Structure 1
Amino acid sequence: MDDMGIGDCRVYNPESKVFLPNLEKIAEQGMRFTDAHSPSAVCAPTRYSVMTGNYPWRGRLENGTWLFNMPSQVLPGQKTIGQLMKDAGYRTAFIGKVHLGGKVISKTTGMPKFDRKGGFEDFDFSKRVEDTPASFGFDYAYELPQGIQGSPYIALENGMLVGGPHNLREWKKGTYGKSVIEADGFGSADWDSSRAGPILTERAISFLDRHFSENSKTAIRKPFFMHYCSQSCHVPHTPPEEMDGKQVRDSSLDAHLDMMVEADLTLGKIITRLRRAGELQNTLIIFTSDNGGLSRGAPGKHRRGHNSNAGLRGSKGQIYEGGHRVPFIVGWGNGQKDSPVKPGSMSDSLIGLQDIFATLAEITLQTIDRAHGLDSQSFLGILLGKKEAIGRQSLLVQANNGTFQGQQSKKMFRNGTWKLIVTKKLEPVELYDLASDPLENSNQIEEVSQKTRVKRMALEVKEVMQSKRSTVALRIGRQKSPAIHSAELFAPRATLLTELKKIEGGKAVRWGKKYKVTGKSPMNLSFIPQDKLHWDASAYKLIGIPVQNWTDGLTTIEGRLNNGKLTSWSHHAVGFAVAPSWEKTTLGFPFPMVEERYRGPKPFNGQLARPNGHRIHWRRFFPEDLREITMVITSTSGLVDLLID
């Protein structure tokens, strides 16, 4: 979200004047964080931090890159969240507002044009705009370079100007029907700020449609990652009349809140599409905002009685809590008690939005190189309710240059519940204990008893600012991925539809097309064909079952493919898999497609190996008569927590 405060949602502020049912449902079925912060009190620096896992000042400019044709805020060699997820095998998309700069070619010089001399006519929009999300590891990108608040009033699709160069014109500040132009500048002739949100929504749904369609064609369930950056609820506040037959404009107290209704409907459409594809319970949804909420008037005199920051001091642009404490709501699972994220849970752990980077790296089992995600710390353990999870102890937040909205170029440093505010020169000026003073009413900077604390925290601020990285690089204990993944060698030719027959030592929950099994080690379970007596696997060389270990320790799986006439010593194929903590692996069952000719005594016909002195007879396996898959699961931790695909 853009400019949404912690007071704009009823899960944080019961007195909120706007009803956001889809967001509230995610909070009801997932986890809400009460001490989450944007790295900056304004948007452009925060967007860089989310994209890279770095504090804003590690980019090109300390205060962010705001114009679409300025050199990119993302420096060469800095890994983006798009590249991170693409490396993990995800199909990736970026949709929405950018504010990270870009490289546009000049018609006159043929070189990148970083000014606006000569008007928009000198920008060569027949060529792809580089150094935008389309260049940052996203397979699909639909971008609003400046959002809806500034020129150019355009959209880029995979780096190319939507509508083409011939469709550009100069715009003057003013109102055009339901659209508002905030400042003079150029843009597309058909630009309509009230239609930006519905168009972004349509592009998001179209991406999901293509993704699910592509998966069905190839029979490979490739995962997806979508980074959706809403234009709502930044000025100009121009909500659409309706979305999918539901009224948006004038649906709440004013246009500002109407745009939150619009964003909630977008969220609802995405959720509906995921549910229809059977993937909602497998999808991690993170909802947050780029900075604190708008002021909506002087303290105690908020417009229509709605306080976007729930009584916190300050608002967007300010270094006080109202400027950077943001809603942060996470949904993962089907809302049942066995979901990865406990339904209706809350965490008061300290997190920064740049921590999304390391969290996704841990979820996708990627070690972060020391040169990337420099200020990102994973909160996965907190999200999963792990008792041993350790959250952040410190965090840095900045407010930008200038006096607009009280920014005054200050920084905030948290250590536990204590908050130190420093000037641009890093001089301490304010100190608050948020545990006893969450509204920041009592400045303790002059207290003699706090002299040592102030000195120590001021030193920590300088250490972070001078550091090459402020967090420990995430390392996953795993082997290096093979150069060629098994999926490239063995693209699935068919899928065996199963149903659980029985489980001993635990319980199983369906997650769409997957099973999540939990319990004590050892665990026994078996699967049988869904809606048929047996499977016919005679046309295939290998049956593979993807699994992932979701607990500590080493998990081993011993499996059998059983025929109908089963004894302890006959008519089955054996498979085995080992999965270290959080590792993905495959329980594989190779079997011969052509039976070898047996030349021994007739009494032993049908055996794959000659009998030894102990009379152990291994009768051949019939892949055309596969009746059951059994597994014995053991774990060195004594607990089983396994995801079976």
Structure 2
Amino acid sequence: MAPREPLCSLLPLWLQLLGLSLGLGLGLAVASRPGVVVLLADDLGYGDLGCFGHPSSFTPNLDRLAASGRRFSDFYSAASVCSPSRAALLTGRYPTRSGIFPGVFYPGSKGGLPLNETTVAELLKQQGYVTAMVGKWHLGYGLNGIYLPIHHGFDEFLGVPYSHDQGPCQNLTCFPPDTKCYGKCDQGVVLLPLIRNNTVVQQPVSFPKLTAQYDRFARDFILRAAQQQKPFFLYYASHHTHYPQFASADFTRKSMRGPLGDALLEFDGSVGQILKALRDAGVENNTLIFFTSDNGPELMRRSRGGNAGLLKCGKGTTYEGGMREPAIAYWPGQIAPGVTHELASTLDILPTIASLTGAKLPRVKLDGYDMGDILFNNGKSKRDTMFYYPVSASKKLGVFAVRKGRYKAHYYTQGSTHSDSTPDHDCHWDSFLTPHDPPLLFDLEADPSENYPLSSSDIPNYSWIINQIHEEKLIFEQEMEFGESQIEKGVDPNLEPCINAGCRPRPTCCVKT
């Protein structure tokens, strides 16, 4: 890191010492606090990255993070679709607690991530951090944008409030301009808006030009924070590689893997831009970067939908392919290179960041654990269980599956439209809800693909682990308090974000480029 004049040099010695001893946001105490960057891919599968085994994906920057950082083999999202998985990452709580179920938010959804939920950004704001989010939010828009990131602890926001297939995407073109992207997406709602803080600044947004704007925003934020000697938190939630794929002219037709590969290559390029900004600002060695994906791949899109690798099924299911994700932690000089097979989750990001920065945890029930021992000591995880809720989570059915150690028990299985088109019929929409008593048991270390359930004749030999899992499940479900469903509040078309407030007829009048 380049040497700088510390702010505390202008303060009396006793005040410097007081600030350092109490951990106040003064002088060197501020400068020593690490920057934090969370990179989130969209619908990226366990088998989509080169560093996780894909033979034709080209992801040099993510591969560098994996080679120089800690790669997770057993890392989980808390949900298999967008909105609940993102709520869990930001709050450290299962989305059932915050009411982000069943399903996802839509452009005119009345609900959103409740304002009384505490996000990572809000924790870090209390520690003197500057905070910014860029990319896909998908945790509600609401009346006048009340649920946007700037109301959840982020000082700045540039992005789109929901998935880019949740609006007419005929205008979303690849390069060259006459090449339409795959599909027409949702009709009858507003064209996709680009929002800066709380204001719609472009509608429809030009997606082939969007990533460059995001990269400039992220770079400017990092450089400004470093210049001001302020600790920073950047949450970069890319739209790549969600369907329909898009990429700018610099990345289209540059991948061996086609449109999805181009989209992934552009996202990887953004990772490279962020790394360069950290180096230019002189803060790379004082910044934790954590990368993962929100949920598994949308296999119904075939080669345009991503790849779960050796894992079973994908998005929308509680099989491994729906919730087990690639993950990488990178911090030069602090995190030793290597692979960890310890169990961890997006739920663990908030308590880990809180521990690193000295932030106080919110006074609510958290479901995450500090990953410090995994990251810095090559140690054991504090987590030994993972609970899998379906997309349509309910109190009546409870969790569908539980992993404890190397074993996973399915109490219910169900396919999903998101995972159609695979050779495995268990993944399909018409693989209806099926209860299992005794539960369907897998040894995930011997069989991560969930191909070979331990047969009923073997079950007596595994009664000890089934009993342990069942006890964990009972305790967890007894203490789980479901929040009021924010998604079941319904949809009002008048709440859809519009660049021309009050215009008629909606949604066609909501256009200004």
- TM, length-normalised to structure 2: 0.72
The answer (yes or no) to whether the contact 2:95–2:101 under 8 Å persists in 1 is: yes
Change (3 A) 1:427 1:456: farther
Q: Corresponding residue for 2:476?
A: 464
2:41 is the counterpart of 1:6:
no
Q: Corresponding residue for 1:340?
A: 334
Structure 2 counterpart of 1:378, one-letter code:
D
Change (3 A) 1:241 1:230: same
The answer (yes or no) to whether the contact 1:102–1:132 under 8 Å persists in 2 is: yes
Which one of 391, 399, 418 corresponds to residue 400 of structure 1? 391
Q: What SS class does the counterpart of residue 77 from structure 1 fall into?
A: coil
The answer (yes or no) to whether the contact 2:112–2:142 under 8 Å persists in 1 is: no
Q: Corresponding residue for 1:442?
A: 452
Change (3 A) 1:20 1:390: closer
Structure 1 counterpart of 2:345, one-letter code:
G
Identity of aligned residues (%): 28
Structure 1 counterpart of 2:465, one-letter code:
R
- Higher strand fraction (1 or 2): 1
Instruction: Work out the CA distance in 2 between the residues paired with 1:469 and 1:175.
Output: 41
The answer (yes or no) to whether the contact 1:417–1:433 under 8 Å persists in 2 is: yes
Q: Corresponding residue for 1:113?
A: none
Q: Corresponding residue for 2:220?
A: 206
Structure 2 counterpart of 1:308, one-letter code:
N
Q: CA deviation at 1:451?
A: 4.0
Deviation sequence 1:364-415 (CA, Å, 0-9, x none): 123424415x10101011100255x44311111223139xxxxx99622111
Instruction: Work out the CA distance in 2 between the residues paired with 1:273 and 1:468.
Output: 42
Instruction: Work out the CA distance in 1 between the residues paired with 2:460 and 2:123.
Output: 47
Change (3 A) 1:90 1:445: farther
Which one of 183, 186, 196 corresponds to residue 183 of structure 1? 186
The answer (yes or no) to whether the contact 2:115–2:151 under 8 Å persists in 1 is: no
Instruction: Work out the CA distance in 1 between the residues paired with 2:135 and 2:398.
Output: 27
Q: CA deviation at 1:77?
A: 2.4
Which one of 51, 68, 83 corresponds to residue 90 of structure 2? 51
Deviation sequence 1:553-600 (CA, Å, 0-9, x none): xxxxxxxxxxxxxxxxxxxxxxxxxxxxxxxxxxxxxxxxxxxxxxxx
The answer (yes or no) to whether the contact 1:90–1:225 under 8 Å persists in 2 is: yes
Structure 2 counterpart of 1:382, one-letter code:
I
2:344 is the counterpart of 1:351:
yes
Change (3 A) 1:445 1:352: farther
Please give the residue correspondences for 1:352-501 in structure 2 after superposition, counting only pairs within 5 Å. Answer: 352-371=345-364, 374-385=366-377, 387=379, 389-401=380-392, 411-423=400-412, 428=437, 429-444=439-454, 446=456, 447-467=459-479
Please give the residue correspondences for 1:191-590 in structure 2 after superposition, counting only pairs within 5 Å. Answer: 191-213=205-227, 215=228, 221-242=229-250, 247-295=251-299, 303=303, 308-333=307-332, 339-343=333-337, 345-371=338-364, 374-385=366-377, 387=379, 389-401=380-392, 411-423=400-412, 428=437, 429-444=439-454, 446=456, 447-467=459-479
Q: CA deviation at 1:73?
A: 3.9
Paired residue total = 399
Change (3 A) 1:95 1:321: same
Structure 2 counterpart of 1:8, one-letter code:
D
Q: CA deviation at 1:223?
A: 0.7
Q: Corresponding residue for 1:32?
A: 71
Q: What SS class does the counterpart of residue 50 from structure 2 fall into?
A: coil
Deviation sequence 1:257-283 (CA, Å, 0-9, x none): 110000000000111111011111111
Q: CA deviation at 1:316?
A: 1.8
The answer (yes or no) to whether the contact 1:3–1:290 under 8 Å persists in 2 is: yes
Instruction: Work out the CA distance in 1 between the residues paired with 2:472 and 2:410.
Output: 12
2:165 is the counterpart of 1:149:
yes
Q: CA deviation at 1:310?
A: 1.9
Q: Select the structure of larger CA radius of gyration.
A: 1
Change (3 A) 1:193 1:48: same
Relative contact order, higher structure (CA 8 A, sep 6+) = 2
Instruction: Work out the CA distance in 2 between the residues paired with 1:409 and 1:240.
Output: 43
Change (3 A) 1:462 1:142: farther
Structure 2 counterpart of 1:442, one-letter code:
Y
Please report the RMSD computed on the Cα atoms of aligned residues, expressed in angstroms. Answer: 2.8
2:157 is the counterpart of 1:132:
no
Moved more, 35-44 or 3-12: 3-12
Change (3 A) 1:72 1:190: closer
Q: CA deviation at 1:233?
A: 0.5
Deviation sequence 1:467-499 (CA, Å, 0-9, x none): 2599xxxxxxxxxxxxxxxxxxxxxxxxxxxxx
Change (3 A) 1:81 1:434: same
Ranges in structure 2 where 5+ consecutive residues have no aligned partner = 1-40, 194-202, 413-432, 483-513
Q: Corresponding residue for 1:553?
A: none
Q: CA deviation at 1:192?
A: 2.3
Structure 2 counterpart of 1:100, one-letter code:
L
Change (3 A) 1:460 1:445: farther
Instruction: Work out the CA distance in 2 between the residues paired with 1:422 and 1:89.
Output: 45
Structure 1 counterpart of 2:406, one-letter code:
T
Q: What SS class does the counterpart of residue 368 from structure 2 fall into?
A: coil
The answer (yes or no) to whether the contact 1:419–1:432 under 8 Å persists in 2 is: yes
Structure 2 counterpart of 1:150, one-letter code:
Q
The answer (yes or no) to whether the contact 1:30–1:332 under 8 Å persists in 2 is: yes
Deviation sequence 1:200-230 (CA, Å, 0-9, x none): 22221232233234x1xxxxx2110001100
Structure 1 counterpart of 2:385, one-letter code:
S
Change (3 A) 1:250 1:399: farther
- Higher helix fraction (1 or 2): 2
Ranges in structure 1 where 5+ consecutive residues have no aligned partner = 106-128, 152-170, 216-220, 334-338, 403-407, 471-645
The answer (yes or no) to whether the contact 2:58–2:261 under 8 Å persists in 1 is: no
